[in-house]
Structure 1
Amino acid sequence: MEIWDNSKGLPQNAIFALEKDNFGFLWAATEEGLVRFDGKTIKVFDEDNYPEMLEQTYYIFFKTEGGIWATGDRSIVLIDKNLKTVIDCSEITDQTWIRAIAENENGGLLIGTQKGEIYSWDEGTFSLLPFWNPETSLEILNFYPTGNSILLVGTSKGIYELNLSTKQTRRVTEQGFSALKIFGNASNRYVYGPDKGIFRIEEDYHLEMIYSFEQSNGVNPSSLIVDSENTIWAGSLENGLIKMSQGKVSEVIYPELQSYTVRKIIKENDNIYLGTLGKGLAVVRPAKIKQLNTGVLEQKNIKPIYQARDSSIWIGSKSDGLYQIKHGKINSWLEEDGLLQNRVNTIGSARGKVYVGSIAGISIIDQQSGQITGYLTKDNGLRSNYVYAIFRDSKNWLWILTKKGGIHYIDESGNFRQVELPEKYSNSGFISILELKNKEILIGSISQGFFRFNGEQLVETQSLPLTPGEDLIYSMYEDPAGDLWFATHGGIVLLKQGNFKILRKHQGLKSRSVFSIIPGDSAGVWVSHNFGVQYFPHSELEKFKNTTDEDFHIANSFYNENHGMPNSEANGLIFPSALKDYTGRIWIPTVEGIGIIPDPSLKKEQDKRFLFTWDNLQIGDQKTDIQDEIVIPQGVGMFQVSFSLVDFDNPDQYSLFYRINSKSKQWQPINEQRLLNFTGLKPGKYTLEVKIHRHGNLEQVNSLPIRVEAIWFETLAFKIFILLAFGLLIYFIVKYYSHIRMKRQLESMVSQRTAELSNANAQLKKALSEIESKNKVLLDITWFQSHLVRAPLTKAMGIAQVLNQYSSFQEIGLSKEELEKELLQTLEELDQVVRETHSKSENIKNDEG
C-alpha cells in the first residue's frame, strides 16, 4: 500500500469522489481542490492555479466519453487530462445543492438537485426538464444511466425510470424504498437501501435481496462498487474494506487505514484505489518486492543472508541472533543457545558446518544436527575477534576476513592458516571477498583498496581513486567481459583495462553509498543502498564503460518501500550483503526485514502498458492544453512544457531524457519533475523529444513540434531589410568618404596648381620686369642708334650724293680724294657704332642665361 496525503502533494486528506479519465489519469475531489494523479506525481486544480474555477470543493464525478463531469455546490466542471469546461450553476442552486449529474441525448447535461428538481443544460441555458413530474415531493439521490436512453433516478421515494427517447417518467419501485446508491457493471445492477440491504435490480425492476441489512451493516454507501467478477466492494465505516462475494461477507483489514473511513473505491485488475476520510489516497497493488510470510523476522534489523548447499537459508540479525529457514520451518540461535553474540556480521559454510561471524569471533554449527560444536577466536588463531566476511571458494577453502589485517583460510583438509601480509597492512580491515573467473581471490578493504591473491600468494594491491572516507569496498562484481565493479562508500567504481571510472549519484545512483552488486538475470545487475535497490541492464553498464561524457546518466529501474520492501534502507558492511538463491530470487537485507525480488517479474512488466501524454504549455500564469504543435508568441523569453507518464503499477521503472534539438546527440536526464523549462530560444522551429527507458531499455521517443515566433525586428524580412539598409549605408558611407577624398585631392590639386600659378605669375612678373629692363636697354640702344648712327650715316649719304651729283668739286672746297677719304672715315665711324650696338645686345643675351 502506498499512501498519498498532504505530506506528498495532496492539498487535503478528505476525498469525496474518485474516478479515472479517458487518458488514464486518476482524479480525486478534496475539500481544497481537484487532484490529478498519474501514479507518481500529483497536480492540483484549484482557484489559485486555475482562476476560471468558481469553487474548490466538488463532490460527485460522472464519467463520459468527453471526460469527467464534477459537481460542486454552485458549479460544474469538465475534466479530461486538464480543465475543459466550467459551468456556473448559481441560478439553479438557490437554497439547494446538486445531487446527481448525467448527459442527455443532445450533448447537454441533466442535473438533479436536493429539492428533487431535474434541470437540462443545453448550449449554456438551464431549463427544468418538462417530463420529470414525480407524484410527490422527494430528494434526488443519484443517477444511473443504463446505456439505452434510460436513466434510473434514485430518490428518497423510490427508483424512477427516465426515458430520454420517449420523454416519459415512471416510478419502478415502491415509494417507500429509498435508493441511496445505484451501482453496477455490464451485467448486473444493484441498489443499496438504508436499513434494508443490497438488492439486485432485475430487468423488470424487481428488487432481489442479495445481502441483508445485517450483512451490509457498517457499509459506507457512497463507496459501493461491483467488479467484473460480480464481487461487491465497500469501505467500512470503521476501517478497511468489506468484500461481498457469493453471499459471503468478509473484511479486508489494512493496518495503515485503521480508524480511517474509505469513501471511494476503484478496483482495476490487481490494483485498488481507495479515497479515504482523513488519510488521503491509498493505492493497493501487488508488491514488486516480496516479503517472508513469517512473523518472526518481521521488523527485524537483518544483516547477512546466506544459502547453504542443502538450500537452507541462514539469516543473521543485528541483535536477535541467527535464523535458519529450511523446508518452511524456522530455527533460531541466540547467546543463551551458545551463540557467541546475537549480532551477526557474516555467514559461510564448508564441510557440513556453518560458520557464523560476529564481533566476538566465529560460532561453528553442525549443519545436520543444528548444534553449536565450536568457536574460532583470537585464542585459536584469528588476528581479531571482529569478523567481517566468511567465504568458501571453488577449491573448498573457507576464507575468513577480520580486523587488524586478518586474512585466514581453512583449506580443503581442514587446516587453519593465516596469510602473511606486509607490515603496513597489519591494521587493515578486510570486509569483502570475490573469486574471479581465473580462480584468483579478490579481497576488498577499508581505505586500502583491493588485494589480489593466487592461492595464498599476494599478487597485487591496488587503491581506488576515492577519498579515504569513501574507500570502503562493500561488494565486488566481475562482469561477463572480465571488468571489475566495486560497490563503495563513494559510488560504483569500474576497473577496465587498468583504468578507473566512477559512477556517482548525479549520474543515476540513488545513494552515495552502494552496499552490494549482484547479477540478476543475464541482462543486468541489482545494487542495494540506503534508499532501496536499483536494476542496471548490462547495455547501460556498457554505455558507461565507453562514454567520455562527464554528465552521462545511466538508465535504470528503482524499487523501494513503495514496491514492497519492508524498508527502503538496505544494510551494508556485512557479508554477503545480498543473496541470489538457487531459484534466481534475490534477497535484500533491510533494517526492518527482508525484501525478496522475484527476478522474472521484470519480464512480466515489459508487457504492461504505460501512457505518455503531453500536458500543458505554461507562459507566465497562462496554461494551455497541448494538442499537437505549440506556438510560442513573439517576445516570450521563458516558457514551460509539462508532460505525464501514467503508470500505477511501477512508476519508478522509468528513466527519462530529453533534448530540444534533434541534431544534437546529447540527451539531458529528467529527474523527478515532469516539467521542462526553456529560456532564450531564438525564433525558429524546434522539436522537443522525450526518450523513455524502462528497466534501462528504450521504449519510446515522443516528439513535440515547437515554433517560436519572431518579433517584427526578428523576422527574415526585417533582417533582409536591415541587411539592404546596412548595405546602402555602407555604400553611402563609402561614397561619402570617396567624395571627401576626391574633394581633398581636388583641393590639393587646386592648391598645387595655385602654387604653380603663383610661382608662374611671380616668374611672369620677373620676366616682365626683365622685359621692361631689356626694353629700356633696347630703348637705350635704339636711342643710341638713332643719335649716334644717324649723324655719320647722314654724313656718309651727303658725301655720296656730292660724289654722284658733282663732277667738279671746287665749289665744295674739297677734292674728290678728300671726299672719298671723308666718306671712308664716316663709314668707319658708322661701323664702330654698329659694333658697339652688337656688343650691348650680346650683354643682354648673357644676362638672360
Structure 2
Amino acid sequence: MKLLQNSILLMAILLSIRVIGQHKSFKHIPESAGLSNKIAKDIFRDTKGFLWIATQNGLNRYDGYEMKVFKNAETDVSTLSSNDINVIFEDSRQHLWVGTITNIHKIGKDGESFDRLLKRSPFEDNNFEFEITSIIEDKNKNIWVGTSGAGLYVFNLDGNQIKHYFKEQKEGNFNFVHITALFEDQNNNIWIGHKDLSYTIFNPRKKSFKHNKISLASTRFRNNTGSYITSFVETADKGVIASTLNSGILAFESKTNNINYLKGINKGLYHPTVKDMAVDEEKNLWLGTSDGLHFIPKYKNRVQKVYKSDDLNSNSLSDNAVLSLYYDQQNILWCGVWGRGIDYAEPNFKKFETFKREPMKTNSLNNDMVQTIMEDHEENLWFGTSGGGVTYYNIDNDVYEHFTPQKGNKEKLQSWSVFSIFEDSDNDIWVGSYLGGLSLLDRETKTFKTFKNDPHSDYSLPNDDVRDIFEDSNNQLWIATNGGGIAKFDKYSETFEVYKREEAKGQETLASNWVLNIMEDSRGWLWIGTYGGVSIYYPDTDTFISFNHNDKDQNSLAHNWVYSIVEDRNNTIWIGTAGGLNKIDAKYLDKEIESYKKDFMTKYTEENGLSNNAINGIIEDEEDYLWISSNMGLSKFNKEKKIFTHYSKDDGLQGNEFIPMAYCKTAEGKLIFGGRNGANAFFTSDINVNPFKPNVFLTNFSLFNKEIFPSSEENSVLVQSIINTESITLLYDQNVLTFDFVALNMISSDNNTYAYKMEGFDKEWNHVNSKREAVYTNLDPGDYIFMVKGTNNDGVWNEDGRNLLITIQPPYWQTWWFRTLIFIVLLVSILGGYKWRVRAYKEAQRVLEETVQERTFELADKNNDLLTINEEVQQQAEELEMQRDHLAETNNLISDQNRNLKDKNEEISSLVGQLQGANSEISLKNKHITDSIRYAKTMQQAILPLDDSFESIFANHFVLFKPKDIVSGDFYWVSTRNKDGKTFVASVDCTGHGVPGAFMSMVGMALLNKIVNENGESNPIKILEKLDEGIREALRQDESKNRDGMDLSIVCIEQTSPTEYDLLFSSAKSVMYIFKAPKGKIQRITGDRISIGGLRRKKKKQFSVQKFSLKRGDRFYLTTDGYVDQCDESRKKFGTIKFEKILEQTVKYSLDSQYQMLQDILKIHQGNAEQRDDITVMGFEV
C-alpha cells in the first residue's frame, strides 16, 4: 500500500513538472537587430512602448525590429558621458534617466540628446572612481540616485540636485559611499543596499535613517564572503525581498522588518548569486541567477522551475547566467543573459501543445514528421511517423511506447513510414504503411499480423502502400492504397474485394488508383480522395461518380490531389486539395449526383484569404469554425463571414509546414495536426487574441532619401526627435518625403501590420501589411496630415495611430504678398507709362514736321543707294545657287553612307543569330555534363559497401555519409577475406570534393581492392605504402606538379577467440576513437601526420601501426574531418572537442540511436549554413 501511495505521489510530481515545464518558451532578439553589445546590464520598457537596453558599449532603444544606439562622442557634451551603461529609469513625467559608470543623465527635450547632471566628478582631484548603480523616484517625485563610490544623490524632476549623502555626512555608524540597490516600498520607505551586506531604511515621515547589518550565520551561505544586495522587489506574500551576490535571497517582514532567510527557496537555488529579480502580473517571483532563471510561485516558499540553456532546444535560454530581468506592460519577461544579448518569453495567448521527438530522450515521439494521428477508445493517442514507425502515448501515465520494424521479424511492423492508424468497432488497431501493407496489432503480445499483396491472388491486398483505413457505418473496413485503388476487407475470411479505375467508364469509376483518403457522409456515401480527383461511391447501387480539376472552370475541383474531405454539421462537404479549398453545399446532395454541373463547387484560394493553397487537413470545431492545416501554418475559417485567421510558427506552432491527412479531433474536443517538426494539439477555447493595442510612432524622417536629425540650428526641419514631433514645415522643393513607422507590439512583431494615408493627397488608406515605410514625391505646396495606424500580431488595430501635420511652403512667386506687390508695380507702371506716352506723342509731332522736310531731300540720295544694293543682292543670289548644288552632292554622299550602315547592321544581326545558336549548344553540353555527374553519383554509390557487408562482420554499426555535392570526395571501404578471416575497414578523405574528389575516391577504392583482395596484403603499413605509390603512379606525380592525395584511417580486425579481437590501426593524417564497454571512456587514437600521394619527399614516408585488444561489445569509430569542420550560421566550426564530448555523451545508447543523435546535433548546429565539406562518420560494435 505504501509503495502504491509513493508511486501515485511520484506520478503527480512528474505530471506537475511536465505542465510547468511547458510554461515558458524563450525567443532571442536576433543579431540582425543591431544590439551594440551582448552584455545587457539593465532592461526597461518605457511608457511609449520602446525597450531600452543598457550594455557595456552603448544604450540601445529597441522597437521590436531594430536597435537605435546612443553612444558617447568625446567632443559632444550632449551625448552620454560613457558607453558603459549600468541603469535605466523613466520618471513620472516620462523622462528617461540613464546611469553610466561616470555620470547620471536625463534625456534632453529633443529626445535624442542627454543632459549630464553631475557637471564634474566630485573626485576629480584624486581620480577616485565611481559609477551609477541604481535610480528610483519616490512618492514626492524626487529622484534618488545610488552610486558606488560617490554616495547617494537626490534630484528633482527637472534634474536639479537637492541633496548629496556621502561619508562625511554620517548617520549613526554607517556611511553612503557604496550604494548597490535602491527601492521604495508600498509604505513609501526608501530601502538602500550597501556593499558590506547591510541596508538602510529611510522613513520619509520621520526623515530618519535606520541602518541594519545582515548576518548569514544560520544560512547555507554563512561562509560566503564579499556578498552584497543586488536588487529589491516587493510581493504581497513575502514583503520586501532582497537578492544578493553569493548569498541567495532574503525577505523582510512588513511590520517588524525582521529577516526571513527563505530557506525553502534558497535550498532550491542552483547558484547563490542572484543578479536581478522580477515580479510578474500574477505576483509570481522570478530570479535571475548565475546558473539559470528560477521561478517561485506566489504563496510558495520553494523553487518550482529552473530554466536553463539547452543546446538541443532552440526555445531555451541562450546562456545559464542571467544578468538582468524585466517584466513589461505586455507581460513579456525580458532576460539579459551573459554574453548572448536578450532572451524573452511571451505570454501564452495561443496554447498550442507540441508533441515532438526530443533527442536523447526515449519518452517522446520516435520521429518529428507526423503523418497520421488517432485517438483510441481509452482516449490515448497514436502517432504514425515518417522514419520512426508508430508511437503510442499513454496520456494518464505520460509514457510513450514505440513500435518499429525489426529486420526479418514478420511479427513486427513492416515499415518505418506509417500513413494510417485506425481503431475499428472491435477496438482492434490497424496500421497502414509505406510498402508495409496492412498490419493488425495484438495488444497483449504487442505483435503484428500483416496482410500484403499476393500477385497470384485476386483476393489479396491490391498494393502494399496503404494510405488510409476507414470503417463505414456498417462496420465494413475500407483500405485506400497508393497504386492499387481501394479494397473492402472481410475480417473473418481475411479477403479483399478490390475496386480499381476502369478507364472505359469515364466519370463513373474511381478517379485514380492512387488513393489518399476515405470519408463517409451522413447519407452513407463514401467520398474518396485520390491523386486524380475526388470520387463518390454509392453503396446502394455499387457505383461511382468522379470529379476532376478543369483549368477552364474556375469553380471546378481546385486541384486533382485531394488531401482531406470532411462534412460539417450543415451537411456541407469541404474538400482540401493541393490547389485550394472546395465547398459543396448540401442542396446539391439531395440525391445521387449523376454528373458534374457548373457552379456545383465553390473554390477558395490564396486570393480569397488562404495563407497557402495546399490544404492538408480540415476539422470543424464546436463553434462551427473550420480549422485548416496547410504548408503555411494553421488557419481558422469563419464560414459565414468568409474570413480566415492565420497562425504560424511565431504563435507557437511546431513549424509552418503541416502534413497531408495528419489530423485528429479527440473525444473531448481537442484538435491535433501533424507537421514536419512534430504535432500541435489545442482546445480552440485556448486560442486567444493578443488584446494589446500598440502605440504607433514615426521613427525616422528622410528628405530625398537622407535621414533628418534634430538640430537647434535656424531653419532646421526637426528640433526634436521625430518620435515626439507633431508638425513640420518644409520648403517647396523639399518634396520627396520618406517616413518610417512602428507599432510597438513586441509579441511576434514581424506580424504587425500597418496602414497610412496622406490627408490632402490620398483618397484611401494604403494597407501595406508588414511594410514600415511610406514614400511621397512631388507634393504640391499646401497643408497635409500624414496618418499612420498599426495592429499587433493578431490584427488588433490602434485606430488612433499617429498624425503629423505637414506644411509645404509655396515658392515666393506663389505667395500672396508677392502677388500683391506685382499688382502694385504693374498699376504704377501702367499710369506712369500713359503719362510718358502723352508727352512723347506731342514731342514726336514736332520732331516729325522738321524731319519730313529733311527726309524729302534725302530720298533722292537713298534711291541711288538702293540701285547699288540691288546689284549686290543679285550677286549674292548667284552665290546661294552654287551652295545649293554643293548641298545636293553632300546629300547623295550621306545616302551612300546610310546604305553601307544598313549592310553592316544586317551582318551584325547574322552574328547575333550565330551567337544564340552557340549559346543553345553550350546549354545542351552543360546538361550532358550535369547528367554525366549524376550518373557518376550512381556509379559511386554502387561501388560503396552495402549494409550487408557490415552486418555479416559487426554486431551493430552505423554509417553517417553526407556528400557536399552530387558526388563525394569521401568514401568508405570494407573487405573480409575468407582465407584468413581478417576484416579491413577504411575511412578516406580525398583531396577536394565534387567531381575531382569523386575521381580520387574511385582510384583509391580500386587500389585498396587490388592491394588487399588481389595481392593479399595484410599489414596496414604495407597497405598505406603501396597505396601511396599507387596514387603517385596513377596521377604521374613524379612527372607533373600534381599534389592531390588523400587522408585515411584503416583498421585490420582479426577474431582471436569467441569474445576477443585484435585490431591493427594505421592512418595518414586521420584519427580513430575506441570505447571499451561497459564503463570505459572514449579514447582518441592519432596516427601519422603524413598524407597519401603528393609530391615525393626526399625522405621516404614512414608509416606506423598500433595494436589494440577488443572484447565483444567494445566499439571503435572512424571519421573524416567534414563533421568537425562544419560551420554554423555565425561561421563557428563544430570543433573536435565538442565532437568528442558528443561521442562521450551518446556512447551509452545503441549505435542506431547514436547515429540519429549525431544527425540531429549536426542539423541543429548547421542551421541554414551551407555544408562545407563531405562528411563521413562510422561506428562499429564488435
**TM-score, reference length from structure 1:** 0.69
2:616 aligned with 1:515? yes
- Asked if 1:261 is matched to 2:321, the reply is yes
Residue 610 of structure 1: CA displacement?
A: 0.6
State the AA in 1 paired with 2:241.
Y
What CA deviation, in whole Å up to 9, does each residue of 1:69-128 have, x standing for no partner?
332234555689995762225634453222222347885644333223334445455576
Alignment of 1:5 onto 2:14: no
CA contact (8 A) 2:726 2:803 kept: yes
* Alignment deviations for residues 558-582 of structure 1 (CA, whole Å, 9 cap, x no partner): 132x5444x3154424xx3211222
Q: CA RMSD in A?
A: 4.8
User: Is the CA contact 1:530–1:568 (under 8 Å) kept in the aligned structure 2?
Assistant: no
Query: Structure 2 CA distance, aligned partners of 1:340 and 1:175?
Result: 69
1:22 to 39, 44, 47: 47
Higher strand share: 1
Cα distance change of structure 1 residues 138 and 231 upon mapping to structure 2, 3 Å threshold: same
Task: State the partner residue of 1:46.
Answer: 70
Amino acid aligned to 1:335: P
Contact 1:681–1:708 (CA under 8 A) maintained in structure 2: no
Candidates 382, 404, 410, aligned match of 1:334: 404
The equivalent residue for 2:977 is none
Would the aligned equivalents of 2:318 and 2:343 in 1 still touch at CA under 8 Å? no
Matched, 1:377 2:453: yes
**1:290 aligned partner:** 353
Question: 2:382, 2:391 within 8 Å by CA — same for their partners in 1?
Answer: yes
For 1:117, which of 151, 154, 165 is the aligned residue? 151
CA–CA distance in structure 1, aligned partners of residues 370 and 793 of structure 2: 30
**Cα 1:667–1:707, aligned 2, differ >3 Å: closer, same or farther?**
closer
Query: Which of 154, 160, 170 is equivalent to 2:200?
Result: 160
Match of 1:688 among 787, 806, 812: 787
3-state secondary structure, aligned to 1:278:
coil
CA 13–535 in structure 1, closer or farther in 2 if over 3 Å, else same: farther
Letter in 2 for 1:503: T
**Alignment of 1:91 onto 2:119:** yes
Between the aligned residues of both structures, percent identity stands at 17
**What one-letter code is carried by the residue in structure 1 that aligns with 2:432?**
G
Are 1:347 and 2:421 an aligned pair?
yes
**Deviation per CA, 1:31-76, whole angstroms, max 9, x where unpaired?**
45445567x6454443499x96535542213343334533223455
SS at match of 2:679: strand
> What is the alpha-carbon distance in structure 2 between the residues aligned to residue 478 and residue 715 of structure 1?
72
* Letter paired with 1:234: L
Structure 2 distance, partners of 1:719, 1:579, is 77
Residue 60 in structure 1 maps to residue 74 in structure 2: no
Instruction: Give the residue type in structure 2 aligned to 1:475.
Output: S
Q: Give matches, 1:587-602, under 5 Å.
A: 587-602=672-687
For 2:465, the equivalent position in structure 1 comes to 386
1:58 aligned partner, one-letter code: I
Q: Say whether residues 1:701 and 2:802 are aligned partners.
A: no
Aligned equivalent of 2:100 = 72
Q: 1:319 to 1:230 in 2, by over 3 A?
A: closer
Matches within 5 A, 1:469-488: 472-477=561-566, 486-488=575-577
CA pair 72-470 structure 1, distance change in 2 beyond 3 A: farther
1:388-437 alpha-carbon deviations (Å, 9 max, x no partner): 22333445443332233513334899873322423388975222344455
Partners of 2:763 and 2:470 lie apart in 1 by 46
The structural deviation recorded for 1:644 is 1.5
The 10-residue stretch of structure 1 (419-428 or 27-36) with the greater mean CA deviation from structure 2: 419-428
Say which structure, 1 or 2, has more relative contact order (CA 8 Å, 6+ apart). Answer: 1
- Match for 1:114: what amino acid? S
Q: Which runs of 5+ in 1 are unaligned?
A: 544-554, 733-849
CA drift at 1:325: 3.9
Matched, 1:710 2:808: yes
Aligned to 1:419: 499
Q: Summarize deviations over 1:741-763 as a string: whole Å, max 9, x none.
A: xxxxxxxxxxxxxxxxxxxxxxx
Contact preservation (8 Å) 2:371, 2:418 = yes
Map of 2:478 onto structure 1: 399
Residue 487 of structure 2: SS of its match in structure 1?
strand
Structure 2 CA distance, aligned partners of 1:719 and 1:699? 45
Equivalence for 1:586: 671
Contact 2:138/2:184, CA 8 A, preserved across alignment: no
Q: Displacement, 1:599?
A: 1.3
CA gap of 1:372–1:443, structure 2 versus 1, over 3 A, is same
SS in 2 for 1:129: strand
Per-residue deviation, 1:306? 2.0
Residues 313 and 192 of structure 1: CA distance in aligned 2, closer, same or farther (over 3 Å): closer
* Alpha-carbon distance in structure 2 between the residues aligned to 1:680 and 1:224: 53
Aligned pairs (5 A) from 1:424-573: 429-436=514-521, 439-446=524-531, 448-455=532-539, 456-463=542-549, 465=551, 472-477=561-566, 486-492=575-581, 497-498=599-600, 501=603, 503-504=605-606, 509-511=610-612, 513-539=614-640, 542=642, 556-560=645-649, 562-565=650-653, 567-573=654-660
Question: In the alignment, which of 695, 698, 701 is matched to residue 613 of structure 1?
Answer: 695
The 8 Å contact of residues 155 and 179 in structure 1, kept in 2 or not, is answered as: yes
User: 2:212: which partner in 1?
Assistant: 173
Structure 2: which 5+ residue stretches go unaligned?
1-24, 217-226, 311-315, 357-361, 505-509, 586-598, 710-720, 831-1182
Q: Provide the secondary structure at the position in 2 that maps to 1:275.
A: strand
CA contact (8 A) 1:588 1:596 kept: yes
Is 2:251 the counterpart of 1:200?
A: yes
Q: Output the CA distance in 1 between the equivalents of 2:523 and 2:354.
A: 36
Shift of residue 261, structure 1, vs aligned partner: 0.3
> Do the aligned partners of 2:501 and 2:513 also contact (CA within 8 Å) in 1?
no
Q: Does the 8 Å contact 1:655/1:670 carry over to 2?
A: yes
- Show CA shifts across 1:601-627 (max 9, x none): 13xx25x63122121253212474556
Deviation per CA, 1:512-557: give whole Å up to 9, x if none: 64422322342532222345323333355x26xxxxxxxxxxx523
- Contact 1:347/1:354 (8 A) holds in 2: yes
Q: Assess if the C-alpha contact under 8 Å between 1:35 and 1:42 holds in 2.
A: no
Match of 2:136 in 1: 102
In structure 1, C-alpha distance between the alignment counterparts of 2:543 and 2:51, rounded to whole Å: 63
How many Å separate the matches in 2 of 1:59 and 1:436?
67
Superposed CA offset, 1:299-349 (max 9, x none): 543221123456443221222222334563655433244322232012234
- 8 Å CA contact 1:449–1:464 kept in 2: the answer is no
Contact 2:442 2:448 in 1 (8 A): no
> Residue 474 of structure 1 contacts residue 572 of structure 1 at CA under 8 Å; is this kept in 2?
no
CA separation of 1:714/1:191 partners in 2, compared to 1, >3 Å: closer, same or farther?
same
Q: 1:640 aligns with which of 719, 724, 739?
A: 739
Question: Match of 1:296, as an amino acid?
Answer: S
Cα 1:214/1:146, change in 2 over 3 Å = closer
CA distance in 1, matches of 2:583, 2:109: 44
- Contact 1:557 1:694 (8 Å CA) reproduced: no
Are 1:221 and 2:301 counterparts?
A: no
Q: Quick one: distance in 2 between partners of 1:411 and 1:235? A: 64
Larger Rg: 1
Q: Which residue of 2 aligns with 1:237?
A: 290
* 8 Å contact from structure 1 (residues 629, 705) kept in 2: yes
Normalised by the length of structure 2, the TM-score is 0.51
Give the distance between the partners of 1:719 and 1:398, measured in 2 at CA: 93
Aligned residue pairs total 700
Q: Which moved more, 1:249-258 or 1:513-522?
A: 249-258
Contact 2:366 2:389 (8 Å CA) reproduced: no
| 3-state SS, counterpart of residue 556 of structure 1 | strand
Give the counterpart letter for 1:17 in structure 2: D
For 2:176 and 2:804, how far apart are their aligned partners in 1?
A: 58
- Note if contact 2:452-2:463 (Cα within 8 Å) is conserved in structure 1: no
Q: Cα offset for 1:210?
A: 1.5
